[in-house]
Amino acid sequence: MSETEVNPTISKSTGLPRKRFYRARAHSNPLSDSHFPVPISPSHVDYSLHYPQLFPSSGQADSSKKIQFADVGCGFGGLLISLSTLFPETLMIGMELRDKVTEYVKERILSLRVANPGKYQNVSVVRTNSMKYIPNYFEKGQLSKMFFLFPDPHFKEKNHRRRVISPFLLDEYAYVLEVGGIIYTITDVEELGDWMKSCLENHPMFEALTEKELEADPVVKLLCSATEEGQKVARNGGQTFQAVFRRIAPSDQTS
Amino acid sequence: MESEPKKETEVAPALIAVHPDQSSVAVAVGPHLRVFDLLAGSAASLIDDSDAVPFHKDNIRAIRFGASGKLLVSAGDDKTVKVWSTQSWRCITTVSSEKRVTAVAVSNDGTFVCFADKFGLVWVVDLDPPLRDKKPAPLLSHYCSIITSLEFSPDGRFILSADRDFKIRVTNFPNKPLNGAHQIQSFCLGHTEFVSCLAFIQSQECPQGLLVSGSGDSTVRLWDITSGALLDTCEVAIKAGLLESNGKAEEHGHAVTDLCTIQDGLLVAVAIQSLQGIVLLNCNVSAQTLSLAKVVSVAGEAFVPTCLGSSSSTGKLWMVTGVSNLPGCNNPSLARVRVISGIDVKQEPVVLEDDNIPGREKLLETLQGTASVDDNVFLAAAEAVKAAMCNLLIKKQYPSENREYRKKSRNDRKLKG
């Protein structure tokens, strides 16, 4: 018998991929020049590849519908799966650096699409380094939501520059987010939580959501509960630190 | 494991910059900055009494005149940026950088100097009040990328940064740049290899300027920086006959290395690796297109320009070829200067003989270090510069065959027990 018949990578009962065959290191070197294809510009992103039912041919250039949610560092895809049914009319994508984890999410989405006809057609994943290539995927003001859930803390001070939320990278996230768009961040590492909050507070193009606004947003509750990482933290009784900010127009155009 | 290779001093291309009024010309080779004062007809004596680092101690990677010619800025591998007054030729400010500097730009009014380092950070220094040592503030960053070129837009509204990851970022230059430049106007995306150089075309019809860029993909592209839109692409290596039109995509060695606009931008001079001379392109501003005007060859000697310079409206293009630390060569600083005149939509360009260039032999002696040059060595120099540029800016392709072998020293791959 072949290896895959004895130990199938896709579970026969649920039809979903089994995580143990997509085991990966928790870290991937964001500084290395991995060789995955990068679209030359946002108009080169192949929507028919990611959303085949919604974009039957690859000539999608004229389509008015564009990706609006991006989960940066989507991991095993927990948040995206929840968002897909909560926002069925919105196109969303996960970005993940790790090869095997991206494969897992791909398989997961494909299996869900088969098992639930008509559903999960609006969600996809791409293997890429979002710290270098976000402007290649999204046009100015294209996104209405961006997610950074439990990012790598990079504890050592000399590695802080590798953090996915930084004063410099926020310039790029502000560029792809529309005015009024929301950036969601959460972590179980207090120091990182303080760091992310402080970067956002000090950036002229972001302002914090009020308590009332946070209460009213159904997505906020998903930050802790929807992902594998968040569920693990809850199981261990850990605390989480979130920072949710809105993209604003800078007060003085040239300040 | 093999022992670490002996650290060799890097090969660096010769650079040239021309004062906007053509009152002086500067050449940098390795750590040497040489300036010829054309009005005085003699070499300018540079004065640097900085306590920390007088003059440059390692390869200079960028030089340019700024603020309508009042300033000359030089920067490089010794991690310093020096600002010189072109009246006194004295170094008025030295700025320390954490990393090696790869590009510099001066704001149009001369108040700010920006420089970029090898790790993708762009810094800004306020020259007012003039102090001997200045601390730079971070302006913006291209994550983990090498910045190859920095330019201000002609109207001063934007600062442009180009990198080795094929991108050009257009950022609003704020009133208070020391707080950072956070508002990105656009990205000019379209090149399929590292972007090496930027220049602006200005005309009555288009006062805010059109951007031209050169790249390792052997093209020159025309852009509208407000929207980031790609207006036209000119395959210069193919037009110059260096590449077949169905040339293999993998073939490197025909990168555009420098660009210069002349005659208020109606003409663009382009230097390409392996081309002994330059390509002249016409820009049609209303049609927003680039087309080939002429290929100008330098006859009689092996001359592949490493850098181009011009002053507006003199119709002259200054070119330098050369390199520092060429292996096997006695002379650590090689430089050869040539001038093309008559670059005009109406005239025929002519490569000037040494006797006919402004400044003549005295200029050549000053800028080249010697009046006569050994021709043979410049071919080797061009090859060395080409190899250095490719090593720096082109991503290495590791074959998949020995991937396991390469990863064997990784902690999670080490055999247990």
pLDDT at site A59: 59
pTM: 0.90
CB of B187 within 8 Å of any CB in chain A?
A: yes
Task: Compute chain B's Rg from CA coordinates.
Answer: 21
What is the spatial distance between Cα A199 and Cα A166, in angstroms, rounded to a whole number?
6
Q: What share of chain B is helix, strand, coil (3-state, %, to 5)?
A: 10, 45, 45
Residue B412 is given by DSSP the state G
Scanning every residue of chain A, which has its alpha carbon at the shortest distance from the alpha carbon of B184? A175
CB of A174 within 8 Å of any CB in chain B?
A: yes
Q: Which of B176, B184, B395 sits opposite A175 (nearest CB)?
A: B184
CB of B182 within 8 Å of any CB in chain A?
A: yes
What is the spatial distance between Cα B62 and Cα B70, in angstroms, rounded to a whole number?
17
What is the spatial distance between Cα B298 and Cα B276, in angstroms, rounded to a whole number?
6
| Band (A144; pLDDT cuts 50, 70, 90) | very high
Minimum distance, in Å, between the CA of residue A41 and any CA atom of chain B: 6
B residues 358-417 near A, CB within 8 Å?
395-397, 412
Least confident window among A160-174, B84-98, B225-239, B244-258: B244-258
8 Å CB contact between B306 and B271:
yes
Residues of B in contact with A174 (CB under 8 A): 182-184
Least confident window among B84-88, B152-156, B343-347: B343-347
B residues 98-157 near A, CB within 8 Å?
121, 138, 140-141, 143-145, 157
Nearest alpha carbon to residue B137 among B182, B198, B78 = B182
Q: Which of A40, A250, A252 sits opposite B192 (nearest CB)?
A: A40
- Of B20-34, B258-272, B309-323, B338-352, highest mean pLDDT: B20-34
Minimum distance, in Å, between the CA of residue A95 and any CA atom of chain B: 17
Is the pLDDT score of A16 beyond 80? Answer: no
Q: What is the ipTM of this complex?
A: 0.90
Q: Which residues contact B196 (CB under 8 A, 6 or more apart)?
A: B148, B149, B162, B214, B215, B216, B255, B256, B257, B258, B389, B393
pLDDT at site A76: 93
What is the spatial distance between Cα B322 and Cα B305, in angstroms, rounded to a whole number?
8
By three-state DSSP, how is residue B75 classified?
strand
Minimum distance, in Å, between the CA of residue A137 and any CA atom of chain B: 11
8 Å CB contact between B67 and B109:
yes
Give the tens place of pLDDT for each residue, A60-110. 555 678 999 999 999 999 999 999 999 999 999 999 999 899 999 999 999
pLDDT at site A85: 96
> Is the CA virtual torsion A128, A134, A136, A138 positive or negative?
positive
Count of CB atoms within 10 A of residue A102's CB? 23
Count of CB atoms within 10 A of residue B299's CB? 8
CA dihedral B181, B184, B189, B191 (to 10 degrees): -10
8 Å CB contact between A249 and A141:
no
Contact B165 A132 (CB under 8 A): yes
By three-state DSSP, how is residue B324 classified?
strand
Tell me which of B223 and B203 has the higher pLDDT: B223
Catalytic pick from A71, A152, A171, A194?
A152
| Band (B49; pLDDT cuts 50, 70, 90) | confident
Q: Is the peptide bond before A39 cis (omega within 30 degrees of 0)?
A: no
Least confident window among A97-106, B37-46, B325-334, B355-364: B325-334
What is the spatial distance between Cα A15 and Cα B413, in angstroms, rounded to a whole number?
31
Segment A201-215 shows an average pLDDT of 96
Residue A242: beta bridge partners?
A186
By three-state DSSP, how is residue B390 classified?
helix
8 Å CB contact between B113 and B122:
no
CB of A169 within 8 Å of any CB in chain B?
A: yes
Residue B90 is given by DSSP the state B
Minimum distance, in Å, between the CA of residue B82 and any CA atom of chain A: 26
Tell me which of B142 and A28 has the higher pLDDT: B142
8 Å CB contact between B26 and B16:
yes
A33 noted as active-site residue? no
Residues of B in contact with A178 (CB under 8 A): none
CB of A99 within 8 Å of any CB in chain B?
A: no
Q: Which of A33, A140, A255 sits opposite B176 (nearest CB)?
A: A255
Please report the DSSP string for A89-157 in residue order: TSEEEEEE--HHHHHHHHHHHHHHHHHSTTSSTTEEEEE--HHHHHHHH--TT-EEEEEEES-----SG
Scanning every residue of chain A, which has its alpha carbon at the shortest distance from the alpha carbon of B227? A140
Is the pLDDT score of A10 beyond 90? Answer: no
pLDDT at site A90: 97
Q: What share of chain A is helix, strand, coil (3-state, %, to 5)?
A: 40, 20, 40
8 Å CB contact between B17 and B3:
no
CB of A25 within 8 Å of any CB in chain B?
A: yes
Minimum distance, in Å, between the CA of residue A250 and any CA atom of chain B: 8
Contact B183 A167 (CB under 8 A): no
